[in-house]
Each structure stands twice: as C-alpha cells, then as structure tokens.
C-alpha cells in the first residue's frame, strides 16, 4: 500500500495564497539548483515577466533567503537558509540516529516502521522503513500525526508531565477520522492512562480504517518523551496468525527500550 501524496500532485487547498506559493517554488528552485541562477533563468523557468520575477528575487534577497553576486548578477541561497539548517540539525540528528533501529524493527516484524518527532507540541512523521513483506504501508514524510488518535502521537502525549498534557488536551479539536476515533477529552484521558500502564500506545482503525499501529515513546536524558517509534500493519492480518500481535509488541518494546536521545 502506498499513502504517498507528492506535494506537486496534491489539490490546491482552499484559501491558499498564490503569490506565496510562487515565492516558495522559486526559493525551492534555488535550493535544488546545482549552480547559482540569474534573473533570466527564473523568467524562463516560471514563465514570468521580468519585472515580476525581479520583485520576487529582490524580496527573497532582502529577507536573507537569497544573496546576489554584485559582479555576476547571479543569485544563490542566502544565509537565512543556512541558519534554518543549523536550527534543524538537532532534529535531523535524531532521524539519522534512529534509522538503523527503524530498519531493524521492520526486518524483525516484517512490517513498516516509522519515527515521530515531538516538535512544537505536534508529532511530525519524520522517517519510516519498509519491510520486505508483500503488503507494506508507505508513509508520507512531513505529515503531522494527530496526538489523540495516532499511536505515535498518543505514545508521546501519554508520558508528558500532567500539566503539559492537560494543556494540550484543552486545545484539541477532535476530528473523527473513522468510527473508532476518540472524539472527547475524557475518553482520551482513559486511553492515555492505559497507555502509560502498559508502556505502548495503540491505534486500531482510529486514524485510518483498516490500519493498526503500535508505538512506544523515546525519552531524553530528563525522562521526557521527545519522539516515538511505531509499527504500522493491516488490521485484518494481525489476527490471521496466533501470537502475531504479541510478537509486534515484544519487538517494539525490546528495540524501543534501546533508544535514548
């Protein structure tokens, strides 16, 4: 199965800002380009008039996202992008650190595994590893997983200090994804208490119909959850073989217990 949905193929969302979208596409062009670009390159690649293209480049340069060579008149990535990259380096390090364990867990369970990072009170799907099974779930990197329905989200939320947990619950808008989705704070609190007691979170057809996920938190040196590691599988296949679900739990608990920031 493939849940991929490339951004360039996605439908345009209602209320989007066309000028911002074009500016981001232009910036992306510079990031992907192997060499600096000139104004004429942007005019040609985006089928724009010269004056409009210049205003985009001038704005990006003013904000530090591009820099212009005064001699060659070429534009290249500016210092602001490198500043962002340095701020993100810590999160990237976590992805690199845990990728081998993701692959090992996928190999042991023959299921797709994934990594969620707790960023700005959200859980970001940051990495995944496919198994060699005939049926494998392909995740979309960059998706923000719901804290109240996804296993990687509940695995983090359940182990946060109570005050922070309650603050997050108080701001939640419960959207029903399936008939099994938790849609109120009291039911979520009960689920989180069970999660803390058993040490792992469960999402059985709560976020996506037909898919079951299990996840456990990854803690930092202070004992706070900063990420979670999960397994995704087809719900119908879990009960097709005795002991299969238990094997998933044992595997994620064993490998997950090795992970520390």
- Domain residue spans in the chain? 13-77, 89-256
Give 24's pLDDT tier (boundaries 50, 70, 90): very high
The residue whose two tokens read 């867990």 is 105
Q: How far apart are CA 200 and CA 206, in angstroms?
A: 16
Does position 8 have pLDDT exceeding 50, yes or no? no
**pLDDT higher at 221 or 132:** 221
pLDDT of residue 2: 35
pLDDT digits (tens, 9 = 90+) for 107-127: 999 898 999 998 878 888 888
Alpha-carbon distance 156 to 192, whole Å?
10
* Superfamily the domain 89-256 falls into: GAF domain (3.30.450.40)
3 has a pLDDT exceeding 50: no
Q: What angle do CA 194, 214, 128 make, to 5 degrees?
A: 145
Q: Which of 56-70, 88-102, 161-175, 194-208 has the lowest mean pLDDT?
A: 88-102
In angstroms, rounded to a whole number, what is the distance separating the alpha carbons of residues 129 and 66? 35
Predicted confidence (pLDDT) at residue 175 exceeds the cutoff of 50: yes
What's the distance, CA 98 to chain centroid? 14
Average pLDDT over residues 173-180: 94
Between residues 226 and 135, the one the model is more confident about:
226
- The predicted pLDDT at position 5 comes to 34
Span 6-25, average pLDDT: 68
Residue 12 has pLDDT above 80, yes or no: no
Instruction: Quote the pLDDT of residue 139.
Output: 63
pTM of the model: 0.68
Written out in words, the top-level CATH class of the domain with range 13-77 is: mainly alpha
pLDDT digits (tens, 9 = 90+) for 29-50: 999 899 999 999 999 999 999 9
Q: Which residue has the higher pLDDT, 15 or 212?
A: 212
54-63, 84-93, 131-140: the lowest-pLDDT one: 131-140
> Measured between alpha carbons, how far is 157 from 169 in angstroms, rounded to an integer?
9
Copy the structure tokens of residue 228.
């979670």
| pLDDT at residue 136 greater than cutoff 70 | no
Q: What's the average model confidence in pLDDT over 146-164?
A: 96
């Amino acid at each position: 199965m493939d849940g991929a949905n490339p951004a360039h193929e996605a439908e345009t969302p209602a209320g989007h800002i066309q000028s911002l979208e074009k500016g981001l596409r232009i910036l992306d062009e510079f990031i992907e380009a192997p060499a600096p670009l000139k104004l004429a390159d942007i005019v040609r690649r985006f089928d724009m008039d010269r004056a409009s293209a210049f205003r985009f480049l001038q704005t990006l340069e003013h904000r530090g996202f591009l820099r212009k060579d005064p001699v060659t008149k070429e534009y290249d990535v500016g210092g602001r992008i490198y500043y962002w990259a340095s701020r993100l380096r810590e999160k990237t390090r976590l992805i690199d650190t845990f990728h081998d364990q993701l692959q090992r867990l996928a190999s042991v369970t023959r299921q797709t595994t994934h990594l969620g990072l707790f960023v700005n009170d959200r859980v970001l799907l940051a990495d995944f590893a496919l198994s060699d099974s005939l049926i494998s779930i392909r995740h979309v990197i960059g998706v923000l997983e719901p804290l109240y329905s996804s296993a990687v989200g509940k695995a983090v939320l359940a182990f946060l200090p109570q005050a922070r947990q309650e603050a997050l619950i108080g701001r939640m808008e419960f959207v029903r994804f399936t008939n099994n989705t938790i849609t109120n704070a009291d039911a979520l609190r009960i689920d989180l208490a069970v999660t803390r007691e058993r040490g792992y979170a469960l999402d059985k057809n709560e976020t996506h119909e037909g898919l079951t996920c299990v996840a456990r938190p990854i803690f930092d040196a202070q004992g706070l959850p900063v990420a979670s590691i999960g397994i995704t599988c087809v719900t119908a296949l879990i009960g097709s073989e005795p002991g299969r679900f238990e094997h998933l739990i044992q595997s994620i608990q064993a490998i997950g217990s090795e992970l520390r920031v």
